[in-house]
Amino acid sequence: MIIRNIIVAITLALFFVFPAPSRAQDMDILLRPQAHIEGAYVTLGDIFSGLPIDQETVAVAHAPQPGQQAVLDYRWLAGIAQRYKVAWRPRTTADQIIITRDSQSIGMDEISDVIHGALQENGIAPPFSVDMGGDTFRIELPVDAPAQIEVTGININRRTGRFIADVTTGRGSAQQRTYRMSGRYFPLEQVPVLVDPVRRGDIVRPDQVELQEVRSDRLQANVLRNPSDVIGKEVRRNVGPGEPLLNRDFTAPILVKRGAIVNIRLETPNMSLTARGKSLENGSVGDVIRVVNLQSNKTIQVEVTAENEVRALPSMSQ
């Protein structure tokens, strides 16, 4: 009984010397599930709500890099709460907060544009495109940093088209950073492409063709370079929009088919005659073919001028 009384007395003494945190106080101070910050440090106010004003701005950790996140777990949070005398304690091991550092993003398109300008300033004649080897890279800047970027140095291999560029952000400020980036430039050439898909046997209309800049290294030797080489031609295979067009994929359409009845026209400075004939061969515009004059039953040579229209060639007639 004496020993038991001694234990009770010691327990009561410890209770009054080290009182347990108040349940009401625990409920006043709450852990935020997440926080978005702009500055370089994480403060108590970013982590906990319900703090006294003088505690909210106390910096307790370095912030993540701009655009990145950090997860603070229950152990770290418990240590911070104890160190700064915050009346909070974790209730489960799942207690945590996700800290996200806000940022300004500069994507690869903007970086490529700046490098494109630097290449021009260094004597690379347009048109050309810049290939940085991927479009997922981004430069993340603090929200208060100057957002301009510039090329502060560039080394160009004109034989291979490769370059190494120093891209600097926030020049002249405390947030100045320089990134060394490599890539390659490619000359561009304007070639006709289709704006609509066409099928074998279709005749290409003028409204289906437009000029588009294409990297010269992607063009085959027999690529067509003039819209007139495409318009009015018959397609020999299915062709999709945007593809460089090859000479072998198109042919002059057959306007006169073998066995077709055609109109024969003979024009000289002194006369103009017409007759009906029957074609002995297929022919496209400009082709010289043989037809039988149905009136004289003679075979003559004619030039195809339009669909089932031919022009007699007196010097070649039989």
What residue ranges in 175-246 does DSSP mark as E strands?
177-194, 209-215, 234-235
pLDDT at 22: 39
**Digit-coded pLDDT (tens) for 209-249:** 999 999 998 898 889 999 988 998 889 899 999 889 998 99
pLDDT at 113: 95
Measured CA distances, 133 to 34, 116, 184, 186, 305 (Å) = 35, 14, 8, 13, 51
Which pair of tokens denotes residue 42?
């994480």
Domain final position from 68, 101, 134: 101
DSSP code per residue over 91-134 = SSTT-EEEEEE--EEE-HHHHHHHHHHHHHHTTPPSSEEEE-S-
CA separation for the pair 61, 73 (Å, rounded):
13
pLDDT at 133: 83
Q: Any idea what the Cα angle at residue 78 is, between residues 72 and 81, rounded to 5°? A: 105
pLDDT surpassing 90 at residue 73: yes
80/38 same-domain check: yes
pLDDT at 269: 76
65/132 same-domain check: no
pLDDT surpassing 70 at residue 137: yes
**Does 73 reside within a domain?**
yes
**Digit-coded pLDDT (tens) for 102-122:** 999 999 999 999 999 999 999
pLDDT surpassing 60 at residue 304: yes
224/266 same-domain check: no
167/195 same-domain check: no
pLDDT at 194: 93
27/93 same-domain check: yes
The proportion of the chain whose per-residue pLDDT surpasses 70, expressed as a percent, equals 90
220/268 same-domain check: no
Query: Can you give the length of the chain in residues?
Result: 318
pLDDT surpassing 90 at residue 178: yes
**Does 138 reside within a domain?**
yes
pLDDT surpassing 90 at residue 286: no
pLDDT at 271: 79
**Does 3 reside within a domain?**
no
215/166 same-domain check: no
pLDDT surpassing 70 at residue 298: yes
CATH (domain of 205):
3.90.1210.10
Q: Which residue range is the domain that position 138 belongs to?
A: 106-186
**Does 230 reside within a domain?**
yes
**Does 246 reside within a domain?**
yes
52/94 same-domain check: yes
**Does 274 reside within a domain?**
yes
Which residues, in sequence order, are CB contacts of 52 under 8 Å at separation 6+?
A: none
157/170 same-domain check: yes
**Number of neighbouring beta carbons within 10 Å of residue 3:** 7
CA separation for the pair 293, 242 (Å, rounded):
46
Confidence of residue 79 (pLDDT cuts 50, 70, 90): very high
Confidence of residue 21 (pLDDT cuts 50, 70, 90): very low
**Does 170 reside within a domain?**
yes
Cβ(235)–Cβ(209) below 8 Å: no
- Specify the higher pLDDT residue, 1 or 53: 53
pLDDT surpassing 60 at residue 18: no
pLDDT surpassing 60 at residue 306: yes
204/241 same-domain check: yes
pLDDT at 11: 35
Domain final position from 251, 271, 305: 251
Q: Structural domain tally of the chain? A: 4
Domain final position from 51, 74, 101: 101
pLDDT at 314: 67
**Does 78 reside within a domain?**
yes
What's the mean pLDDT when you consider all of the chain? 86
84/35 same-domain check: yes
197/141 same-domain check: no
